[in-house]
A = this chain, B = another copy of it.
Amino acid sequence: MAEKIRAEKTYRPKAETPKGFRDYFGAEVTERKAMLDRIAEVYHRYGFDPLETSAVETVEALGKFLPDVDRPNEGVFAWQEASEGADADWLALRYDLTAPLARVAAQYRNDLPSPYRRYAMGPVWRNEKPGPGRFRQFYQCDADTVGSSSVAADAEICAMLSDALETVGIPRGDYVVKVNNRKVLNGILTSVTGGLERYEVASMTPEERKEYRALELAGLENDPAVDPIMRTLDKFDKVGIEGVRELLTYGRKDASGAFIDGVGLSSDMAQGYVNFLTAKGSSNESTLRRLREILAHSAIGLEGVDELEEMAKLLDCQGYGPDRIVIDPGVVRGLGYYTGPVYEAELTFEILDEKGRKRQFGSVAGGGRYDGLVKRFTGQDVPATGVSIGVDRLLAALRAKGRVTADTTGPVVVTVMDRERMADYMAMVGDLRQAGIRAEVYLGNPKNFGNQLKYADKRQSPVAVIQGANEAEKGTVILKDLILGAKIAEGASLEEWKSRPAQVEIPVASLVAEVRKMLAP
């Protein structure tokens, strides 16, 4: 008692996962691992090599977050090297897998094969305010091709993404990879906003086209109207086509009744965007035809359409038709970051949300082409294209579909009836393990046998092995079928109960064979 009072006075740290972080137990670990292993097999088959960079980067190399303020850790977890005084480097945890790839592509540019296909899987960290369902450490799974400007590289990533989804257990028809192109969007922005004079693009010489393209890009970058338009188009998924039309013009009431101001475009202009977002036809050919009409006056837009057509052709020749990979101008999300093809994998089946309403599962992966990857380091543009799979979302989808494949069966539990005969129980568990059967001997205090069965239950054990003094004398053991036992408790039929007794007594010598029989499905 005195001992206890003393203990209570001692300061005790809290045993808590830090805010915004979480722990993964048992099947949560193996299910994710099984999924990532399958994805890695596909990536490997496509010639992608794994890359595992350190979790820590210099803040300087990470970019975005420069050490010109006292604590440069907005958005990242950062700290200063302790040993070297005020000038010491700032280090930080990586916030994605692309920034480390940029550093690696620059650092090893003379040693890596070019093009360099690499995949990376691992945790990343974000220094955000934690909230429900928002974690500060989570997995990313990326594949990128660095050093190829060919749209064949983009097409390959789309095909690989399609294979990866099917390999982890999303059947064909339950997903679609949608492809769009940043250049098409740029073209539509200049065509519709009319920020530039309408050239007769089709009749230009190649030089004029090039110059015009540069004008278009410069115009876009300096046009303050572009950002709000992009953001509005990005809401297509959520508010639908009429919602977009309202938001592009005079504004709209949202679900809560609040009024959201519109961008202020004319109805005609808004119609131009609506035409674009809904340009998806019944086939890739008809989509491409409509886009060519809409973008007739934009050199960069037509360049984007050409790229889309080329990708569709390259995919088609490998058998990836629009049932798997489809051109869809409605894909706007994240376009700002990209310079060419963009793609997004959507799961098309419905699930019930937390309020019991049906909704589409939505996006589980996305990516595209970006050219500024190593420019910060080397000053050179290096073309790159890549995809990132949302690991947690895809795993949630697989769980929703009942497609999670990791073995969650607990171990056979050898119970301890007689502490003095631990060697016998260890021999049994040894035999089971040697035969490849997952098995444990109960290692807690064996006094209370009920606790041992409770333990077996908690472990989701399929079979308990029991040998008391009586059985030991006879050279037998009792096998208790805990799966059937649970079924009977839930009300199995009499036939079932008779045909497969929940408990059998067998000779010790046939332990492995009989357990195996009981474990057979």
Contact = CB atoms under 8 A, between A and B. Distances in A.
Interface of A: 4, 7-8, 10, 12-19, 21-26, 28-30, 33, 44-47, 49-58, 60-61, 63, 71, 73-74, 77-79, 82-83, 89, 91, 93, 102-104, 106-108, 113-115, 117, 123, 125, 127, 129, 136-137, 145, 147-148, 150, 152-153, 155-156, 159, 163, 313-314, 316-319, 374, 376-379, 410-411, 422-424, 426-427, 429-430, 433, 436-441, 443-444, 455, 458-459
A59 to B, nearest CB: 9
B114 A56 contact: no
Nearest to A151: B422
A46 B148 contact: no
Given A33-B50, A45-B439, A79-B79, 18 more contacts: A15-B107, A16-B61, A21-B54, A22-B54, A24-B51, A26-B50, A44-B438, A45-B438, A46-B433, A46-B440, A47-B410, A47-B438, A47-B459, A83-B129, A114-B444, A148-B444, A317-B426, A317-B430
Contacts of A136: 56
B49 A313 contact: no
List the 5 shortest-distance A-B pairs measured between CB atoms, nearest first. A318-B430, A47-B440, A15-B106, A21-B54, A47-B411
22 contacts: A10-B379, A14-B61, A25-B49, A45-B437, A46-B438, A46-B440, A47-B438, A47-B459, A56-B77, A83-B129, A114-B444, A115-B443, A147-B444, A148-B443, A150-B443, A152-B426, A156-B441, A314-B423, A314-B426, A317-B424, A318-B429, A318-B430
Nearest to A102: B15
Contacts of A377: 12-15
Contacts of A17: 53-54, 103, 107
A422 B117 contact: no
Contacts of A57: 18
Contact of A455 (B114, B150, B411): B114
Contacts of A58: 13-14, 16, 18
Contacts of A163: 433
A127 B58 CA distance: 14
A439 B48 CA distance: 9
Nearest to A114: B444
Nearest to A106: B15
A70 to B, nearest CB: 11
Contacts of A378: 12, 15
Contacts of A113: 455, 458-459
A76 to B, nearest CB: 10
Nearest to A62: B13
Contacts of A127: 82
B23 A159 contact: no
Contacts of A45: 433, 436-439
A58 to B, nearest CB: 5
Given A79-B77, A79-B78, A129-B83, A55 B424 contact: no
A259 B363 CA distance: 70
A212 B458 CA distance: 40
B103 A15 contact: yes
A61 B15 CA distance: 6
Most chain B CB within 10 A, of A25, A153, A316, A443, is at A443
Nearest to A49: B26
A60 B14 CA distance: 8
A443 B145 contact: yes
B54 A317 contact: no
Contacts of A74: 82
B30 A107 contact: no
A152 B53 contact: no
B152 A47 contact: no
Contacts of A102: 15
B47 A13 contact: no
A162 to B, nearest CB: 11
Contacts of A24: 50-53
Contacts of A155: 426
A121 to B, nearest CB: 10
A477 B443 CA distance: 64
Contacts of A7: 379
